[in-house]
Amino acid sequence: MKDTETLNKEEKTTTTTMRISGSEAIIRCLIAEGVDILYGYPGGAIMPVYDELYKFRDQIHHVLTRHEQGATHAAQGYARISGKVGVAIATSGPGATNLITGIADAQIDSTPMVCITGQVASHLLGSDAFQETDIIGISTPVTKWNHQISKASQIPEVIAKAFYLARSGRPGPVLIDITKDAQFEEFDFSYEKCKGVRSYNPVPKTDIDDVKAAALLINSAKKPFIVWGQGVILSEAEKELIAVIEKAGIPSAWTILGASAVPTAHPLNVGMVGMHGNYAPNVLTNDCDVLIAIGMRFDDRVTGKLESYATQAKIIHFEIDPSEIDKNVKTDVSVLGDAKESLSQLLPLLKPNSHTEWHQKFKDLYAIEYEKVIKDDLYPTKEGLTMGEVLKEINIQTKGNAAIVSDVGQHQMIACRYAEFTTTRSNITSGGLGTMGFALPAAIGAKMSAPERDVVAIIGDGGYQMTIQELGTIFQQKVPVKIVVLNNEFLGMVRQWQQLFFEKRYASTEMTNPDFVAIAKGYYIDAQKVTKREDLKKAVAEMMACEGPYFLEVRVEKEGNVFPMIPTGASVSDIRLE
Amino acid sequence: MNETNLYTVSIYTENNIGLLNRISAIFQRRHINIESINSSVSEIENVSKWTIVVKLSEERMKKVIGQIEKQVEVIKAYYHTEEETIYQESCLFKIKSHLLFDEPQIQNIIKESNARIVTVNRDFFVIEKSGRKEELELLHRELSVFGIMQFTRSGRIAVTKDEMKISKMLEAFQH
């Protein structure tokens, strides 16, 4: 009996032509693309695929999330920590529409993801059949590409194209909708990976003349300043970036999604830019003479008021996506192409420099920020626990080696400001879309993708309750993630804005919360709550020492604010320290 | 800088379902009204050509072109001013047949406007006219005095004065 089974499995992994069903073909395509884990939720229109997932369960691990949105965020976490394509799968109708938030998040944060949805049988398309929805129409604006399959024979080519498009060039989400009859239909299957699409140029060729022009500007600059983004991580250009920074002695800052590409402790890493970024890089954006943007897109949360953003500086933009050039900030030199390639070309053209005086300016402003903000965040003397001191304790106990998965809001800004990183791909957060509820499922995906790493989710009490049901997934799959909820009993960021800009009218931001520890324990997850400073260290130690998943609630001060802050519509140099 | 102009956008694409949604969404998202849109085969086999007329500033136009070209199935997108293209629109008028005899003026209008009678039957006749938008509008004004049963006008179609190197581009993509 066992022998026959083994034989069957061996036969199933070959790629020569064989007559199989569409649904079996889908699984074989996923395996051929190197998918080992996928996240999803079954339902009527995707049942044939689930039946095959059952048969192939020793080769491909399906994780049942508790909501389809959780499946997409888990796939995103899986992709962000590894660089591999995350896969989410759902049924038609509500299953498919529940994927949309995660897809939109992956689109704006350039995360490689393939989503597969079941669809009603092709003869029912357009008839308002049970659980029919036009998911192609709905997902079009938030996908890099999408396609509906209504014949089994289309499956191999379309799935191959989906993976190729999701991971190549500027990555993004792709959705494939497959009618139920195509899943049942038998056809002669063979698989070939996609190597290119006629109308699609994933990586524009770097023009050496542009690189030379950039080098000329950088070499003659007195006050050069680098702002790098996630493009560096996506292109795996971390080493090249560090080499450039060190050779030319350029103070360098990062966008929220660029965090961890260069270790926090690197002497030329001057911190985060943007609305709640560090004081020095924001203020000195408007003082530098050459601003070198690498793999970032000048998001409004980074630039503040565009009309007064680095207007004194020459702008160099290293970018893979031509549509980003001059989109928000006009460039003097743009260098198209993959950051790894273009930075490699740039390095030999740079003159060694140290810019000591210029760098000192960053240190001086850091000292001001330390006195006015950081000291009280990390070493508070007042009674209430701060979010910052929780992060500091996690830094100490993980030695900066953990991957930090944050949700959206105040705790996210604190996590990104204070988390110390030694390893790239360690800051997983929803940057562009700002999706509350992202962190818990994303942490599941990250931990399953990199089981050897410590994965700590930092979540607010608001966002936690948007996807809290994924505790069920953590329990069922025994995913040893560490969950830290920084509970201030408020939707903190909105409350902060209400305090600063709406005269403290706290409209619908106060949260009456449940017993979070009891809920975690209800899922058989070890848990505790900390309300006093003296208990924090021990609690974090217990969490990190726990073999399995762990939930730690920390009651932090209720009305703490995140500073520095660039108010909406203000210039980066008008950043407020209080 | 923010002065708006009429631009003719030419887009060469793969011939795939769903691309209309994808392209129109780029305009819709930015609250840009499409004046006219036309999709047809192009000079290259299996390549569609879209002609879209929009009114916006050149700066926005450039950004929109960037977003269009970013779409996987778009081969190339261009924008042109009125001077850079040769363009035509076409329209049809359905008019009651008795007017042809009761209002002899109509026959003169048809002749002078270089319009063409497509069909005549007992109840109605149909006039076709191709040309620039202003010529079509003039004819519409002249005929509406007598009553028009039905009227329809096509989107703009255009060719550029300059050469379009799409075939070469496609060859380059394949190497």
Q: How confident is the model at residue A13 (pLDDT cuts 50, 70, 90)?
A: very low
pLDDT tens-digit series, residues A239-256? 999 999 999 999 999 999
Nearest to A497, CA basis, from A509, A489, A481, A486: A509
| CATH no. for A2-189 | 3.40.50.970
Region A329-342: what's the mean pLDDT?
98
pTM summary value = 0.95
Residue A391 makes CB contacts below 8 A (sequence gap 6+) with: A378, A414, A415, A418, A419, A458
Please check the confidence at residue A361 and state whether its pLDDT lies above 60: yes
Residue A487 burial class via C-beta count within 10 angstroms: exposed 0-12, middle 13-18, buried 19 and up: buried
Mean pLDDT of chain A: 96
Please check the confidence at residue A412 and state whether its pLDDT lies above 70: yes
Q: Are A458 and A484 in contact (CB under 8 A)?
A: yes
Give dist(CA A413, CA A484) in Å, integer. Answer: 15
Quote the pLDDT of residue B175.
Answer: 52
Q: What's the CA dihedral at A333, A339, A340, A346 to 10 degrees? A: 10
Least confident of A355-369, A510-524, B90-104: B90-104
Chain A interface includes B104 (CB < 8 A): no
Of all helices (H) and strands (E), which one includes residue A569? none
Contacts within 8 Å (CB) and 24+ apart, B105-113? B105/B146, B106/B143, B106/B146, B109/B139, B109/B142, B109/B143, B113/B138, B113/B139, B113/B142
Tokens 């090249």 correspond to what residue? Answer: A240
Q: Are A315 and A293 in contact (CB under 8 A)?
A: yes
Name the segment(s) of chain B with CATH classification 3.30.70.1150.
87-153
Q: How confident is the model at residue B104 (pLDDT cuts 50, 70, 90)?
A: confident
Nearest CB partner across the interface for A141, out of B17, B29, B174: B29
pLDDT tens-digit series, residues A364-406? 999 999 999 999 999 999 999 999 999 999 999 999 999 999 9
* Nearest C-alpha in B relative to A174: B72
pLDDT tens-digit series, residues B118-147? 999 999 999 999 999 999 999 999 999 999
- CA distances to A336, A337, B134, B175 from A207, rounded to whole Å, are 7, 8, 45, 18
A199 and B69 in contact by Cβ < 8 A? no
Nearest to A386, CA basis, from A375, A400, A370, A397: A375
The structure tokens listed for A200 are 């699609």
Which residues of chain B have a CB within 8 Å of the CB of A199? 13-14, 72-75, 173
What fold is seen in the domain A383-555?
A: Rossmann fold (3.40.50)
* Percent of the residues in chain A that have a pLDDT greater than 90, as a whole number: 97
A199 and B21 in contact by Cβ < 8 A? no
Q: Are A143 and A110 in contact (CB under 8 A)?
A: no
Least confident of A18-22, A439-443, B44-48: B44-48
Which residues of chain A have a CB within 8 Å of the CB of B67? 323
| CATH no. for A208-362 | 3.40.50.1220
Give dist(CA B88, CA B66) in Å, integer. Answer: 26
Q: Name residues 15-74 of chain B within 8 A of A (Cβ).
A: 17-18, 21-22, 25, 29, 62-63, 66-67, 69-70, 72-74
* Nearest C-alpha in A relative to B166: A199
Region A183-192: what's the mean pLDDT?
97
A322 and B25 in contact by Cβ < 8 A? no
Which residues of chain B have a CB within 8 Å of the CB of A136? 18, 21
CATH superfamily, domain at B87-153? ACT-like. Chain A, domain 2 (3.30.70.1150)
Which residues of A participate in catalysis according to the annotation? 68, 130-131, 180, 493
pLDDT tens-digit series, residues A530-575? 999 999 999 999 999 999 999 999 999 999 999 999 999 999 999 9
Min Cα distance B79 → chain A (Å) is 15
Nearest to A347, CA basis, from A285, A266, A292: A292
Apex CA B10: angle with CA B8 and CA B15, to 5°?
145
Name the segment(s) of chain A with CATH classification 3.40.50.1220.
208-362
B17 and A146 in contact by Cβ < 8 A? no
Q: Are B155 and B51 in contact (CB under 8 A)?
A: yes
* Percent of the residues in chain B that have a pLDDT greater than 90, as a whole number: 82
Please check the confidence at residue B173 and state whether its pLDDT lies above 70: no
What fold is seen in the domain B4-80?
A: Alpha-Beta Plaits (3.30.70)
Give dist(CA A411, CA A231) in Å, integer. Answer: 24
* Percent of the residues in chain A that have a pLDDT greater than 70, as a whole number: 97
* Nearest C-alpha in A relative to B26: A141
Beta-bridged to residue A19, according to DSSP, are A188
Q: Are A195 and A168 in contact (CB under 8 A)?
A: no
Region A80-96: what's the mean pLDDT?
98
Nearest to A198, CA basis, from B44, B19, B171, B16: B171
pLDDT tens-digit series, residues A112-146? 999 999 999 999 999 999 999 999 999 999 999 99
Q: Are A362 and A251 in contact (CB under 8 A)?
A: yes
Tokens 């305090």 correspond to what residue? Answer: A499
- How many Cβ atoms are within 10 Å of A529's Cβ, its own excluded? 18
Please check the confidence at residue A61 and state whether its pLDDT lies above 60: yes
What value of ipTM does the predicted structure carry? 0.91
Name the segment(s) of chain B with CATH classification 3.30.70.260.
4-80
Give dist(CA A457, CA B11) in Å, integer. Answer: 45
What does the DSSP 8-state code read for residue A158? Answer: H
Give dist(CA A276, CA A409) in Å, integer. Answer: 11
Of all helices (H) and strands (E), which one includes residue A363? helix A356-369
Quote the pLDDT of residue B170.
Answer: 73
Q: Are A172 and A144 in contact (CB under 8 A)?
A: yes
**Ramachandran category for residue A233: left, alpha or beta (phi over 0 → left; psi -120 to 50 → alpha):** alpha
Which residues of chain A have a CB within 8 Å of the CB of B42? none
Give dist(CA B124, CA B92) in Å, integer. Answer: 13
pLDDT tens-digit series, residues B55-79? 999 999 999 999 999 999 999 999 9
Region A181-203: what's the mean pLDDT?
96
Nearest to B149, CA basis, from B133, B126, B131: B126
Q: How confident is the model at residue B174 (pLDDT cuts 50, 70, 90)?
A: low
DSSP A78-102: HHHHHSSPEEEEE-STHHHHTTHHH
B18 and A323 in contact by Cβ < 8 A? no
Say whether the peptide bond before residue A564 is cis (omega within 30 degrees of 0). yes
A145 and B72 in contact by Cβ < 8 A? yes
Region A399-424: what's the mean pLDDT?
98
Give dist(CA A50, CA A118) in Å, integer. Answer: 10
Region A150-177: what's the mean pLDDT?
98
